[in-house]
Amino acid sequence: MQNNKPQDSLSLDQIPVTQIKGVGSVLAGKLAKIGLNTIQDILFHLPLRYLDRTRVTPIGALQPGIDVVIEGEVRASDLVFGKRRSLLCKLQDYTGTVSLRFYHFNKVQQQNLSAGARIRVLGEVRRGASGLEFYHPEYEFLDDKKNQELQEYLTPIYPATEGLTQTRLRLLAIQALNWLDKNPLREYLPENLRAKNQTTLADAIRLLHQPPAIANSPLLQDGKHPHQQRLAYEELLAHHLSLLLLRKEHQAEAAPVLSFNRNLHQTFLSQLPFKPTQAQQRVFEEISQDLQKNIPMLRLVQGDVGSGKTLVAAMSALMAIANGYQVAIMAPTEILAEQHKTNFTQWMQDLSISVGWLTGRLGAKEKREQLAAIADGKAQLIVGTHALFQDAVNFFNLGLVIIDEQHRFGVHQRLSLRDKGNQGKTRPHQLIMTATPIPRTLAMSAYADLDISVIDQLPPGRTPITTVTISDQRRADVIERVQHACAEGRQVYWVCTLIEESEQLEAQAAEMTATQLAESLTSIHVGLIHGRLKPAEKDAVMNAFKSGEIQLLVATTVIEVGVDVPNASLMIIENPERLGLAQLHQLRGRVGRGSVASHCVLLYASPLSQHSKARLQVMRESSDGFYIAEQDLLLRGPGEVLGTRQTGEMQFKIADLQRDSDLLEKVRDTAQQLLSQYPENCQPLMDRWLGQNHRYWHA
């Protein structure tokens, strides 16, 4: 039974996890939840980091924050009555003493840990009340008669999930490695596309699951070990391929050819109170080139907050409409959709272009009418929210889709709207606009399926925003400042933030703040907006703020994107240390839209950690969204910057876009070559690295 012949020839991606001894359907179910279905999947589920339990560290050499093994004799063991009762044991070896602290313990434990006991302790040492302490470490009693060997290999820590312990994952990995000895792991990168003298894939995998003690090095802990880099390279390649294929698939479709109508364009511009900036003009020309081709455009326009993306959208929309096609413009929130509706209606009415409107909040009758106008082509430009995705929506002839502030939409939705417009043979063109500046290295891989344009200039006449950081101990001063600003006829935002993703708690906090501020600022009209308000209530508040009736608007981060109130020139952000820099930059962009000098006060909770200080410093120094995003990337990592953490879209098993950015250029070349010379290798390579994840790229 042991050597089951036919299975020897199976490759590891064909062998289900249930073939591993001890893996039944329950465990297999848990594994499937994190995408581990085959033995190959287990092998490619790589450790995040390692603990060194191969050797004993002398107590005298302990450093806080490091996981170690120590051995020694218990010298004293006492009950300590502080805020909470604890058992404190002093452990000594020939180099020093250290404390072990237990908050939960039973009688037997207490007796066994009494003076004279010899124990081995495994865990992380931290600074505590009595110097260096271990809290609730693992420990075992030492017995001369027993052979208590230390670990032979470094101990891997795997990405885990509920119900799957590290011990379990380690065992599974070891069992999977046994299969690796007997069954082949295919190389999908032919030798001529690999660096010379590279280890085999199998050897790299083996070492990373079971690194011998001597492999421990800062390189390994930082993910820069050659074996890790070899795998990271392949993973990046797989991601890049999936985007290339998506793009190829997209470009294989036909799109309407839209010609440029100079007259209409000029008429439109002549009715505006301003001229497009050079950057707006250049980006529009890039778009215009795309629209004149018969392949669907897929272009991302990045422009800092306030750079005037809406105008570029309008000029593009006009091109489609001039050619008899409909345009859909989608915003992530009702407020923004409303703002676009107002803008576009105003801009388009002189040109006799009819603007349609679709959100989830329309009454039944109005909704029916709008749907009918969309279906029979009476509505030429349709502004809306996610409601535009719904099945009931049938466009007459959609030629262009514009998605505003795209980081709020996932790739999923991007694709589904594309499919929506797929009537007959042509696909609509797609324009995606974002204020989230994406650093170049990141854009190269995260958005390899898109063309990118950058509006790198703000309209003239803007005064820069001055940003200061003030401790919450000086809250009274800040309130006085609000008073001044309002007395001078200006308007103010006060933004409340919370760590928890609880809309309710956030709303409560904002409510309390609004009440307090209204009490201290009796002559000022204070408004409140948060995510728990009904959409109609939100609109009412927003409109009252726009019209100047509300002077001070207390808000949660719902105002983050796009809202435009030029008279607001002061923003207070409470607890800015809780937000990402990119998000702070977005928020701050709500002021500085008019011609008066604007200010942003970052009202932090003191004391501030070094790390937070460094981050807020970036906000004070710079108003350049790209620079801020680069810094954010350095300080936080790509998932956060792209705002895709939740969707799991850009998650890597081993690669790290920031750390491995030096690989990206080579990855791009290799991806092209693999695609043209070895197309049959592409799918299995993507399956191996992207698993379930990449399927929706092609959904």
Residues forming contacts to ligand ADP in the complex (CB under 6 A) are: 274-277, 280, 303, 305-311, 435, 459, 562, 564, 593
C-alpha 236/C-alpha 653 separation (Å) is: 10
How far, rounded to the nearest angstrom, does the alpha carbon of residue 672 sit from its chain's CA centroid?
27
Which residues sit at the interface with Mg ion, rule CB under 5 A? 562
Q: Which two tokens stand for residue 527?
A: 């408004």
Residue among 286 and 564 whose Cβ is closer to ligand ADP: 564
Residue among 562 and 625 whose Cβ is closer to Mg ion: 562
Tell me which of ligand ADP, Mg ion, none is bound by residue 99, counting a contact when its beta carbon lies within the kind-specific cut-off of 5 to 8 angstroms: none
Residue among 42 and 454 whose Cβ is closer to ligand ADP: 454
Nearest to 628 by CA among 458, 438, 460: 438
Residue among 47 and 562 whose Cβ is closer to Mg ion: 562
Least distance CB 332 / ligand ADP (angstroms): 12
C-alpha 39/C-alpha 183 separation (Å) is: 10
Least distance CB 336 / ligand ADP (angstroms): 9
Tell me which of ligand ADP, Mg ion, none is bound by residue 623, counting a contact when its beta carbon lies within the kind-specific cut-off of 5 to 8 angstroms: none
Residue among 230 and 341 whose Cβ is closer to ligand ADP: 341
* Sign for the pseudo-dihedral over CA of 75, 76, 77, 80: negative
Convert 60-118 into a string of H (helix), E (strand) and C (coil): HHCCCCCEEEEEEEEEEEEEEECCCEEEEEEEEECCEEEEEEECCCCHHHHHHCCCCCE
Least distance CB 41 / ligand ADP (angstroms): 43
Tell me which of ligand ADP, Mg ion, none is bound by residue 277, counting a contact when its beta carbon lies within the kind-specific cut-off of 5 to 8 angstroms: ligand ADP
Per DSSP, the three-state class of 250 is helix
Where helices occur in 194-308 by DSSP H, the ranges are: 201-209, 218-221, 226-251, 262-270, 278-291
Q: Residues 569, 490: contact at Cβ < 8 Å?
A: yes
Tell me which of Mg ion, ligand ADP, none is bound by residue 305, counting a contact when its beta carbon lies within the kind-specific cut-off of 5 to 8 angstroms: ligand ADP
Least distance CB 303 / ligand ADP (angstroms): 5
Q: Which two tokens stand for residue 253?
A: 């479709």
Least distance CB 327 / ligand ADP (angstroms): 16
C-alpha 560/C-alpha 553 separation (Å) is: 13
Residue among 280 and 430 whose Cβ is closer to ligand ADP: 280
User: How many degrees, rounded to 5, is the angle at CA 687 between CA 695 and CA 425?
Assistant: 40
Tell me which of ligand ADP, Mg ion, none is bound by residue 341, counting a contact when its beta carbon lies within the kind-specific cut-off of 5 to 8 angstroms: none
Nearest to 538 by CA among 585, 503, 488: 503
Q: Which two tokens stand for residue 637?
A: 């990592």
Least distance CB 430 / ligand ADP (angstroms): 18
Tell me which of ligand ADP, Mg ion, none is bound by residue 307, counting a contact when its beta carbon lies within the kind-specific cut-off of 5 to 8 angstroms: ligand ADP
Residue among 384 and 562 whose Cβ is closer to Mg ion: 562
Least distance CB 310 / Mg ion (angstroms): 5
Residue among 16 and 566 whose Cβ is closer to ligand ADP: 566
Nearest to 620 by CA among 631, 605, 636: 631
Least distance CB 547 / ligand ADP (angstroms): 16
Residue among 182 and 275 whose Cβ is closer to ligand ADP: 275
C-alpha 332/C-alpha 359 separation (Å) is: 11
C-alpha 293/C-alpha 272 separation (Å) is: 28
Tell me which of ligand ADP, Mg ion, none is bound by residue 535, counting a contact when its beta carbon lies within the kind-specific cut-off of 5 to 8 angstroms: none
Least distance CB 265 / Mg ion (angstroms): 21
Residue among 245 and 313 whose Cβ is closer to ligand ADP: 313
Tell me which of Mg ion, ligand ADP, none is bound by residue 306, counting a contact when its beta carbon lies within the kind-specific cut-off of 5 to 8 angstroms: ligand ADP
Tell me which of ligand ADP, Mg ion, none is bound by residue 276, counting a contact when its beta carbon lies within the kind-specific cut-off of 5 to 8 angstroms: ligand ADP
Point out the residue whose Cβ comes nearest to ligand ADP: 308
C-alpha 77/C-alpha 105 separation (Å) is: 13
Least distance CB 574 / Mg ion (angstroms): 24
Tell me which of Mg ion, ligand ADP, none is bound by residue 225, counting a contact when its beta carbon lies within the kind-specific cut-off of 5 to 8 angstroms: none
Nearest to 209 by CA among 242, 246, 169, 181: 169
